[in-house]
């Protein structure tokens, strides 16, 4: 139904003098439950649909959206009127049709899930977290969510795509307290396109373990030593990097990777992948949000930056082909640029398997990296990384984690600070773990970073 409806919108826009038209429709249904004290604290069910229309007329862009099917005529008029007032832009365009491959992103069990099933997982998150140890005094948030979506993209150059997708996630935050009154927070999260990947018990236990391993944290004196970024911390740094590989950021001079294509910008140990076709990945889909097929791309190969990711607009401006990375925040905005499944390749000597659901507990930490250093810090949490400069890559952040002595974790530390530059940090990677974990659509294994100045 959505395809014929979208085709009709495109035809009407062309009849009214538009040179090109593109329709994006996404309907969504979701359920979420939050548990507290063994009961349901909050329950929410949502259902929504959004219809977006992009038109091009005399090299001028028009855009409008609605959530009501009966208002499509008004939406078409609004988009055309907008095109009459925007400036001429020679790079506005829509893509032509290209064949795409089917991907695994739909789980019937999630689409048909009942409220009771989501509630059960939320309660299980809280229960498993509290049962881990008597030091766990409180669970601040235990939430499970399920969602399914149907996406349709139709344009006047042959793109006509529909696909159904699902998503399931669980996250929990815990509070541990010791006999001396020290309190520490812990958390864990997992998300996947299929429900069977989400282990609520494991997530609850990992969150509690994270809180407990920082109990009794002490301050250290300033030191220069190597550090190990746990997967969740490495993902935070990789998130910042993902913004700089956008061609839009580069073209607007808002990236620290300007004029770096083809250059060695990181340690030669590092390979970074963007894979929109990864089976069951949370960033996986058959086409991007303009209808261009997604692919698997090596963004960084042995430390060399291979180039930016593009949507149709930035690709035309750069004289290249779109990389299939057009991304919408929703139907209310034009496509920007975003990564799909973005990750650092783990140590292949360990034949590591990419999994979005595995927790970062003691059993999955890469002990080989810890054993390889005589003294240093395993960083488990950061404070203030969001303040990193997205243009220069400079950062100064608070850290907490575990002090390493003679190849073993010795005691928890707090209130230390590391400063530097993100590209310089990635240049100093001396070891990569086999414990790749995804948080949403960004993933990383543990990373061993050479000597850094750690202030206290």
Q: Where does the pLDDT of residue 367 fall: very low under 50, low under 70, confident under 90, or very high at 90 and above? A: confident
3-state secondary structure (DSSP) of residue 398? strand
Q: Residue 430 and residue 436: Cα distance in Å, rounded?
A: 16
pLDDT tens profile 155-199: 999 999 999 999 999 999 999 999 988 999 999 999 999 999 999
Q: Where does the pLDDT of residue 226 fall: very low under 50, low under 70, confident under 90, or very high at 90 and above? A: very high
Would you list the DSSP string of 343-380? Answer: EEPP-GGGT----SS---SGGGS-HHHHHT-SEEEEEE
Overall average pLDDT of the 415-423 stretch = 96
Q: Residue 263 and residue 366: Cα distance in Å, rounded?
A: 30
| pLDDT of res. 266 | 97
| pLDDT of res. 1 | 58
Average pLDDT, the chain: 94
Overall average pLDDT of the 351-380 stretch = 66
| pLDDT of res. 456 | 86
Cβ–Cβ under 8 Å, residues 147 and 106: no
Taking alpha carbons only, the member of 274, 230, 241, 227 closest to residue 388 is 241
For residue 253, CA distances in Å to 247, 248, 250, 333, 390 come to 10, 9, 5, 22, 11
| pLDDT of res. 366 | 63
The class (CATH top level) of 2-212 is alpha beta
Q: Residue 50 and residue 6: Cα distance in Å, rounded?
A: 12
Tokens at residue 166, please?
């699902």
Q: Where does the pLDDT of residue 2 fall: very low under 50, low under 70, confident under 90, or very high at 90 and above? A: confident
| pLDDT of res. 348 | 72
| 214 burial via Cβ count (<10 Å: 0-12, 13-18, 19+) | buried
The one-character DSSP state at 97 is: P
**What is the domain partition of the chain in residue ranges?**
2-212, 223-455
Tokens at residue 256, please?
């620290």
Q: Residue 86 and residue 63: Cα distance in Å, rounded?
A: 10
Cβ–Cβ under 8 Å, residues 341 and 284: yes
Q: Where does the pLDDT of residue 364 fall: very low under 50, low under 70, confident under 90, or very high at 90 and above? A: very low
3-state secondary structure (DSSP) of residue 195? helix
pLDDT at residue 353 above 80?
no
Q: Where does the pLDDT of residue 349 fall: very low under 50, low under 70, confident under 90, or very high at 90 and above? A: low
As separate numbers, helices (DSSP H) first and strands (DSSP E) second, the chain gives 10, 20
Q: Where does the pLDDT of residue 280 fall: very low under 50, low under 70, confident under 90, or very high at 90 and above? A: very high
């Amino acid at each position: 139904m959505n395809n014929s409806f979208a085709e009709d919108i495109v035809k009407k826009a062309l009849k009214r003098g538009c040179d090109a038209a593109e329709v994006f429709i996404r309907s969504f249904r979701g359920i979420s439950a939050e548990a507290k004290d063994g009961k349901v604290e909050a329950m929410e069910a949502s259902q929504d649909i959004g219809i977006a229309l992009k038109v091009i007329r005399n090299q001028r862009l028009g855009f409008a959206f609605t959530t009501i099917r009966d208002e499509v005529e008004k939406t078409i008029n609004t988009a055309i009127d907008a095109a009459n007032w925007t400036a001429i832009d020679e790079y506005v365009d829509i893509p032509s049709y290209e064949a795409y491959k089917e991907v695994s992103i739909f789980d019937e069990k999630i689409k048909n899930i009942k409220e009771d099933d989501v509630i059960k997982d939320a309660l299980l998150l809280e229960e498993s977290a509290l049962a881990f140890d008597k030091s766990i005094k409180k669970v601040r948030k235990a939430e499970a969510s399920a969602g399914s979506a149907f996406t349709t993209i139709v344009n006047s150059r042959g793109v006509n795509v529909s696909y159904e997708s699902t998503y399931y996630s669980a996250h929990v935050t815990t509070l541990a307290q010791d006999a001396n009154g020290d309190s520490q927070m812990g958390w864990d999260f997992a998300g996947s396109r299929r429900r069977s990947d989400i282990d609520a018990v494991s997530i609850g236990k990992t969150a509690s373990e994270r809180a407990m391993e920082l109990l009794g944290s002490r301050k250290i004196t300033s030191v220069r030593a190597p550090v190990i970024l746990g997967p969740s911390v490495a993902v935070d740094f990789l998130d910042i990097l993902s913004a700089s590989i956008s061609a839009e950021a580069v073209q607007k001079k808002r990236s620290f990777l300007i004029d770096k294509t083809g250059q060695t910008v990181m340690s030669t140990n590092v390979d970074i992948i963007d894979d929109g076709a990864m089976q069951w990945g949370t960033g996986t889909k058959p086409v991007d949000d303009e209808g261009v097929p997604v692919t698997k791309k090596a963004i960084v190969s042995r430390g060399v930056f291979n180039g930016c990711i593009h949507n149709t607009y930035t690709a035309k401006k750069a004289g290249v082909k779109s990389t299939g990375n057009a991304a919408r925040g929703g139907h209310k905005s034009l496509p920007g640029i975003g990564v799909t499944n973005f990750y650092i390749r783990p140590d292949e000597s360990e034949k590591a398997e990419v999994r979005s659901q595995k927790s970062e507990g003691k059993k999955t930490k890469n002990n080989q990296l810890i054993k390889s250093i005589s003294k240093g810090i395993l960083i488990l949490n950061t404070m203030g990384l969001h303040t990193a400069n997205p243009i220069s890559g400079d950062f100064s952040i608070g850290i907490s984690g575990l002090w390493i002595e003679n190849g073993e974790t010795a005691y928890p530390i707090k209130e230390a600070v590391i400063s530097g530059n993100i590209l310089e940090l990635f240049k100093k990677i001396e070891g990569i773990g086999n414990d790749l974990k995804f948080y949403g659509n960004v993933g990383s294994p543990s990373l061993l970073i050479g000597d850094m100045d750690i202030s206290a």
